[in-house]
Structure 1
Amino acid sequence: MVKKFEDLTLQDDFMFCKVMQNPHFCKKLIEITLSDTIGRINYISVQHNIKTYQQAKSLRFDVLVQTENGKFYNVEMQVSNERNIPKRMRFYQAALDISFLDKGNSYNNLNDSFIIFICTFDAIGKNIPVYTFENICLEDKSLSLQEGTKKIIINAEAFKNTKNEDLKEFLEYLKTGKAKNQFTRRIEEMIHTIKNNEQARQEYRLMSTFEMDARDKGFSEGIKQTAKILKQLGDSTQKIMQVTGLSESEIEAL
């Protein structure tokens, strides 16, 4: 059953990505989850398709950000516990590295990256609001591998257990829908604005149709049909690429 457009919340991928397209909200949310500043955002891509090789499992990031210092931040919203978060994060990290290290470049040119999964459930099971993982030496835990990656799992269920008031207010809002501080109230206002935007409504309808077509008629056919409709509506090639995952040449050929 497809959720009604009017009932969408920040937990839903479509609305989450729409809100995160705004650099202010995106930057603020990343800084809240990391309890750190990240600098100016140079690049935001939502529903970003990663292509490695033809036989590989396809992958689409909810939100991919690059800041002025070159660091990457992949932010995912997770509401369904399929008990695969650690392995998914491993795959996401690998796909990100492969995609942005060109042939012939030194491994030292790999950008620092953060994989952030915002979960409405406790993926690890220790009732901790923020789980931060990086590679350390088992023989001497004061030594870090320093390969430039971190994986962060946010547990919204444990919002009462964090001393970070901004994070607490955001996670409580995510779980309950109650906006109590300036940041969450501004998110609610933006969601309200999006719901009153007819173009956003039509985009959601088309994406929902695409998902149903992918199930009922086959993935490839559903993608192409959605791309054709978006093209007829005058959407840019870049936007169609983000929504469908098709290449520029495939879209031009439709």
Structure 2
Amino acid sequence: MSGYKIKPWEELTITDDYMFKLVMRHKRFCKRLIEKILNIRIKDIHYLEEEKSFKFKYDSKGIRLDVYVEGDDTIYDIEMQVWNYGDQELAYRSRYYQSMIDMDSLARGALYKELRPSIIIFLCPFALFDKERHIYTFRNICREDKTLELHDGATKIFLSSQGKANDVAPDVKAFLDYMNGLPAADDFIKEIDACITETKTNHEERVSYMTYEMKMREAHDDGRAEGRAEGERKNQEQTALDMLRDNMDIQLIMKYTHLSAERIAELAKTL
């Protein structure tokens, strides 16, 4: 079987990109999280091209935005940055995400002067910039005159759950603590935690995650020059075995693995 491993469905938490997206597709959680982080009130939000947020497209080579919404004429992008690639890589990623947002706006017919303010928020379960802050906000400032701001409408915010400074509101700190695996400390976090628990009991979401696992294994194996076809077959069989262990219907297994009923029956005998 493929050596590529990702977390079992039952072990997913808010810091896992897949689960974060599922939770944030609930408007009440997404809106309130933005409001808490920015200490603002938003009348309403709506998702910009939902597939950029929640429909995972594995055939794309580009980076997909996690939570891409707009509210009160401002565009928001929230990213759960699971892996620590280093501060420089994170800076480049923020630059790339900004370009994606701007190009998407221009593709919709906007003129340069009509580009809306945008705020990119990175949620990081690791320390940042060799500092101890929880929050770092960046805008374009003149180096020669720090009182002069460019006002290009672009803001990038990095939140670290490993910060030690007293620099965020208690409800934001509660969310960061939750990212660290601490128990839900307020009503908002308890609601999110309950949502995750309920999501894990959803049969369709579980099947979707199994498909995601298979696609991730395939993508991993496709990175190697040899054994691609064999790797894909093994990935399909591993997914079928996982679904058999969960007593899922054979027709459903055939649909998501593209294996024959005969092959699935053979695999069932190995359990």
Specify the TM-score bucket, using the shorter chain as the normaliser: 0.7 to 0.9
Aligned to 1:203: 208
Query: 1:70: how far off?
Result: 2.6
1:65 and 2:102 matched:
no
Structure with higher Rg: it is 2
TM-score (norm 2): 0.74
| Structure with the higher strand share, 1 or 2 | 1
Residue 142 of structure 2 is matched in structure 1 by 137
Checking the alignment, whether the CA contact within 8 Å between 1:48 and 1:60 is kept in structure 2 is: no
Distance 2:62 2:111 in 1: 26
Alignment equivalent of 2:114, drawn from 102, 105, 109: 109
TM-score by length of 1: 0.79
Q: Which residue, 174, 187, 190 being the options, matches 1:185?
A: 190
Distance 1:125 1:47, change over 3 A: farther
Question: Which whole-Å CA distance do the structure 2 matches of 1:31 and 1:181 have between them?
Answer: 16
Quote the RMSD (CA, aligned, Å).
2.7
2:45 to 16, 41, 44: 41
| Percent of matched pairs sharing the same residue | 36
Provide structure 1 residue ranges, at least 5 long, that are not aligned to the other structure: 51-55, 234-254
Q: Which deviations, in whole Å up to 9, do the C-alpha atoms of 1:190-230 show, x marking residues without a partner?
A: 001100000010011001111101121469x98xx9xxx9x
2:43 and 2:142 map into 1 onto residues whose CA distance is 30
Matches of 2:151 and 2:138 in 1, distance apart? 12
Aligned residues: 221
Deviation at residue 109 of structure 1 after TM alignment: 1.2
What is the alpha-carbon distance in structure 2 between the residues aligned to residue 141 and residue 85 of structure 1? Answer: 24
Residues 60-94 of structure 1: per-residue CA shift (max 9 Å, x gap): 11111111x33111100012110111111011101
Question: How far apart are residue 43 of structure 1 and its match?
Answer: 2.1
Deviation digits for residues 141-172 of structure 1, max 9, x if unmatched? 11211111100000111166335110111111
Match of 1:90 among 67, 80, 95: 95
Counterpart residue type for residue 155 of structure 2: K
CA distance in structure 1 between the aligned counterparts of 2:47 and 2:108, rounded to whole angstroms: 22
CA shift in 2, pair 1:188/1:49, >3 Å = closer
- Does the 8 Å CA contact 1:48/1:62 hold for their aligned counterparts? no
Gaps of 5+ in 2: 237-251, 257-271
Mapping 1:1-254, distance limit 5 Å? 1-43=5-47, 45=50, 46-47=53-54, 58-67=62-71, 69-83=72-86, 84-102=89-107, 105-158=110-163, 161-217=166-222
Worse overlay, 86-95 or 157-166: 157-166
Contact 2:135–2:168 under 8 Å retained in 1: no
Q: Which residue of 2 aligns with 1:238?
A: none
| 1:251 equivalent in structure 2 | none
The AA in structure 2 aligned to 1:174 is: M
